């Protein structure tokens, strides 16, 4: 059965749908931001591993050049050995050679260590790159879905707004005035369906006589508790 304010009920449904769709749309930039952040994070991990590799190579080049220097020093000492005049000079040179050789051993060990960690870092780079690629693919899929949803929601919103524009002239101005008044106070939820004698919004029991008037649907009745416009909905099932 049609009430005298059927169009007001339609308006309420439209306004709720418009609001829900707008909320959905408003949230999209945050979702995109979140995805971009995750994407950046995965790339940062790759970059950190690459930076690590550069540091490793730099360190190793330093050690190799130091090693080269030490080897040249040894050669120099060996040449000097041929020209020494005293035992003291001789043994002091041998001592220098021993010490330099020890440093060479130490450096060679270090270089091997850096080479081994270079292998590890390369593995890290590969693993992080692979992971990042997977993450990027997954995220761009997600983004695609969000953008599709956005297009749909925008289209829906346009349709709803158009429908609303079409509906407004059909609503009597006194009803519209009341609607706006209650909307301001009740945060957009102006109408409340009554099923089984209860106001759906505030759960207040509606007096039986009032229910009969609601069923007749000839006049606007507001809830005695929450002040919303009531309308009767037959219990389904």
Four-residue CA torsion sign, 84, 90, 94, 100: negative
Q: Does 175 interact with Zn ion (rule: CB under 5 A)?
A: no
> Please, is 137 exposed, middle or buried when counting C-beta atoms within 10 Å of its C-beta (0-12, 13-18, 19+)?
exposed
β-pair partners for 229: 191, 222
Q: How many residues does the chain have?
A: 237
Q: Does 199 bind Zn ion (CB under 5 A)?
A: yes
Candidate segments 23-31, 147-155, 193-201, 212-220, binder of Zn ion by CB under 5 A? 193-201
What single DSSP character describes residue 153?
A: H
Q: Count residues near Zn ion (CB under 5 A).
A: 7
Output 39 or 225, the one with its CB closest to Zn ion. 225
Is residue 157 part of the contact set for Zn ion (CB under 5 A)? no
Bridge-partner residues for 191, per DSSP? 229
User: Pairing relation of β-strands 221-222 and 229-232?
Assistant: antiparallel
Could you say whether residue 221 binds Zn ion (CB under 5 A)?
Answer: no
- Complex with Zn ion: residue 153 or 204, whichever CB lies closer: 204
Out of 111, 223, 229, 231, the only residue in the binding site for Zn ion (CB under 5 A) is: 223
Q: How far is the CB of 225 from Zn ion (least distance, A)?
A: 5
Instruction: Based on the shown chain and the rule CB under 5 A, indicate whether residue 222 belongs to the binding site for Zn ion.
Output: no
Query: What does DSSP assign to residue 196?
Result: T
We find the least distance from the C-beta atom of residue 201 to Zn ion, in angstroms, to be 5
Q: Does 202 bind Zn ion (CB under 5 A)?
A: yes
The Cα 126–Cα 173 span in angstroms is 69
- Binding positions for Zn ion, rule: CB under 5 A: 199, 201-202, 204, 223, 225-226
């Amino acid at each position: 059965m049609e009430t005298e304010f059927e169009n007001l009920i339609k308006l309420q449904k439209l306004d709720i749908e418009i609001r829900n769709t707008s909320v959905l749309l408003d949230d999209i930039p945050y979702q995109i931001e979140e995805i971009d952040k995750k994407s950046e994070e995965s790339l940062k991990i790759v970059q950190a591993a690459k930076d690590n590799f550069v540091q490793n190579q730099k360190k190793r080049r330093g050690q190799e050049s130091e090693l080269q220097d030490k080897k040249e020093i040894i050669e120099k000492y060996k040449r000097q050995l041929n020209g020494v005049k005293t035992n003291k000079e001789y043994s002091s040179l041998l001592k220098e050679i021993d010490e330099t050789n020890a440093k060479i051993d130490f450096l060679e060990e270090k270089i091997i260590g850096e080479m081994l960690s270079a292998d590890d870092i390369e593995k890290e780079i590969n693993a992080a790159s692979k992971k990042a690629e997977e993450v990027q693919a997954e995220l761009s899929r997600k983004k695609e879905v969000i953008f599709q949803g956005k297009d749909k929601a925008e289209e829906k919103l346009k349709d709803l707004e158009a429908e609303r524009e079409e509906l407004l002239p059909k609503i009597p101005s006194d009803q519209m005035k009341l609607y706006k008044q209650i909307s301001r106070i009740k945060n957009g939820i102006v109408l409340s369906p009554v099923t089984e004698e209860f106001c759906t919004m505030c759960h207040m029991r509606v007096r039986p006589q009032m229910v009969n008037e609601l069923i007749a649907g000839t006049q606007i009745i507001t809830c005695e508790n929450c002040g919303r416009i009531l309308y009767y909905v037959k219990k389904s099932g």
